[in-house]
Amino acid sequence: MAKLLLQNGMLFEGISVGAEGTAYGEICFNTSMAGYQEILTDPSYAEQVIVMTYPEIGNYGINPDDFESSRVSARGFIIKNYCEHESHYKSSMNLSDYLKKNSIVGISGIDTRYLTMIIRESGVMNCVVTTGEITDEIRENLNNYSMSKDVALNVSRRQTDVIKQKNGIKLAVIDVGIKKSIIENLKALGCELTIFPGFVTAKEILNGKFDAVFISNGPGDPKDATTTINTVKNLVGKIPMFGICLGYQILCIVLGAKTYKLKYGHRGANHPVINLETNKVLITSQNHGYATLLESLPENVIPTYKNLDDQTLEGFRCPEYKIEAVQFHPEAAPGPTDANLILQDWIEDLKNEKKNRAGNFLKKMFCNLGQS
């Protein structure tokens, strides 16, 4: 047996499908029909307990290829029906064994759609999942629980990693919880990547003579990412930048906009956004609990995408400082690939700008030679 206790006092009982123990976290729901392996290993879920709204989970097991990081960042996993007999040619382990291996408490037999309705009506809240009894101590710990202020730095890498590629755009990547799929997408676009921890300084980046900076996804309240915010502030106007998810929110704050917590967040692989410049609709993968107030954007920042479900801002560009950002995930994983071209277009723009700079330099050099 396993139990789920919400901060509002509601108690659910189910069947344990993971490790034994007790875990506290912020409860949230994801509406994806597949991709539970990518969701569990997405660092943006750090210190959260994930509810899957799709009823059948575990049917294709766990495979070696679909991890988004080397560990599970989520605290707990709540599902309706657990499939004990997985079936997929790549599967190397069932979901229950994977949860046990990573010390994650999992519960099945929960009416996850009813639970989702509660979260939608009451908003996200803290919870505790346990394979033991709900004691007074557990209730007290739950009442006192709060997410770590430095959660993004907790999931960031500790050292700088370099991925060499010939003749590609040189990107400085700030890791505040980056997914493997983002790195793979940038590699596929021919970029040479220097991936820095979230505590990198602006001086380190500017000394590297990079073509641009990419700020990754990650967990937590963007206002708490003060170390990275200070770094990005000192980069504005000095180098082109692109942000995704938490990276987008950090750029919003740096440019003077205000962020706020959503009632229950956007988490799933079916979120429609509209391009405000072309009116084209994209179905996107999303995982965030915070948004940016549209009316707080400075005059030099142009909104580019809007969520069609709740009209929240989903993207912007700032031509003055050569900054672009989107709240959703162009790399998907899991989810549709409608937005894949966004990163490709940004890299192409960087290549064209680099080519133009080189051409202008040669023209200037030949002019100087002619004059001499």
Give me the phi and psi of 298, to 5 degrees please: -65, 165
Query: Which two three-digit tokens encode residue 48?
Result: 């959260």
Tokens 């929240």: give the residue: 312
- From residue 262, alpha-carbon distances to 10, 266, 292, 293 in Å are 22, 8, 10, 11
Give me the phi and psi of 124, to 5 degrees please: -60, 150
Query: Which two three-digit tokens encode residue 27?
Result: 């409860």
304 vs 357: CA distance, rounded Å: 27
195 vs 158: CA distance, rounded Å: 10
Burial letters 69-88, b for 16+ CB under 10 A, else e: beebbbbbbbbbebbeebee
Residue 84 a catalytic site member: no
Residue 252 a catalytic site member: no
Nearest Cα neighbor of 237 from 164, 299, 318, 304 is 318
Of residues 266, 271, 288, 329, which has the active-site annotation?
329
DSSP letter, residue 329: B
DSSP letter, residue 228: H
Give me the phi and psi of 190, to 5 degrees please: 85, 15
59 vs 81: CA distance, rounded Å: 10
220 vs 130: CA distance, rounded Å: 23
Give me the phi and psi of 56, to 5 degrees please: -105, 115
Query: Which two three-digit tokens encode residue 248?
Result: 């987008």
**Coil, helix or strand for 230?**
helix
Residue 245 a catalytic site member: yes
Of residues 127, 191, 245, 252, which has the active-site annotation?
245
- From residue 367, alpha-carbon distances to 354, 357, 359, 362, 363 in Å are 20, 15, 12, 9, 6
Query: Which two three-digit tokens encode residue 47?
Result: 């210190």
Q: How many other C-beta atoms are found inside a 10 Å radius of the C-beta of residue 240? A: 20
Active site residues: 245, 329, 331
